[in-house]
Amino acid sequence: MFRRDEKKSLDNDNTSLESQELRPFSRNQVIICATHGKLYAVHKKDGSRLWRQSFPTAVFGGVVSVFVTDDDTVLVGVSGKTACLNLFTGVFKWVNTMKGFGYEEVGVIATPSRYLLPQPNDSDHPGAPPSYETTQVEKQLFFGVSKGKVLAIDPETGEEVWRYNCPKGGFSIPSLLVEPPNQNSEWSFQVVYVGCGRRVYCLRAGSGEVLWANQISNSKMGYGFMTLATPWSSRLAAEANTTFSNTPHAQKREIESQNATTA
């Protein structure tokens, strides 16, 4: 742990949000960066910093996970906390302290607030592609995951909606995949696939109801980190964001810590 004066001397990036004149930008012009326990909005065209924000509670140097929602908010998780801030200003909307989750790294994700559903094809050409209609059927939810648990959070208030403790999840960071209903999905509602330890779970996004659970590995060797992917999620991840599934910063940090302890 660092004393207050040591933290101040180590943190030279001390320009406050209030001291900056915010430059207008669109959601398609920004990259959100998280490093050294802080958040930065960077312009895609010239790399200039649009805003900088420190987490409102003590998370000095923590690994910060980031998810930008389709409603122009930024969902962040770090040191056992999940928070939401405005994409354009960096101002925090709420912080959920995730009671009972400890103080480890947190993964974050959100269900889409709207999605495309195929509509009946009224064209005279049988080979024509279907038309699509933007649909919102279920309330959007944010998710924070850490130490073998999943927390569903109301995006407006930051309050807990439901939680799920993965059986024998231990201290692993669960991996999540969200799947809205479409013509190829197995469900008519949004689901969340959870991978934790040796098990995979399928939960109904709106309620946390367990649709199925399966232990997929009996291995006694190796680290207990699981990554999840589908063909569609992989395409989206390549274009949209870095995740624990393809850039395991937090896992690497924990492995290094374990190695240092046993050395």
Average pLDDT over residues 14-26: 60
- Say which CATH number the domain at 86 has: 2.130.10
What is the number of structural domains in the chain? Answer: 1
Computed over every residue of the chain, the mean pLDDT equals 78
Let me know: does 41 contact 49? Beta carbons within 8 Å. Answer: yes
Q: What is the pLDDT of residue 7?
A: 42
Sheet holding 160-165, edge to edge: 107-110, 142-146, 149-153, 160-165
User: Which residue range forms the structural domain that includes residue 164?
Assistant: 4-262
**DSSP structure class, residue 130:** P
Q: What is the pLDDT of residue 159?
A: 96
**The token pair that represents 242 in the structure block:** 């870095």
Residue 36 backbone zone (phi > 0: left; psi -120 to 50: alpha; other: beta):
left
Let me know: does 59 contact 82? Beta carbons within 8 Å. Answer: no
Of all residues in the chain, the percent with pLDDT exceeding 90 is 27
163 alpha-carbon distance from chain centroid: 16
pLDDT band of residue 17 (cuts 50, 70, 90) is: very low
pLDDT band of residue 111 (cuts 50, 70, 90) is: confident
> pLDDT digits over 225-234, tens only?
787 887 777 7
In a 10 Å sphere around its CB, with 0-12 CB exposed, 13-18 middle and 19+ buried, how is residue 50 labelled?
buried
- CA-CA distance, 228 to 191, in Å (whole number)? 14
| C-alpha closest to that of 95 among 55, 63, 135, 122 | 55
Q: What is the pLDDT of residue 122?
A: 54
Query: Which range has the worst mean pLDDT, 68-77, 85-94, 154-163?
Result: 68-77
Query: Which range has the worst mean pLDDT, 32-36, 99-103, 108-112, 257-261?
Result: 257-261
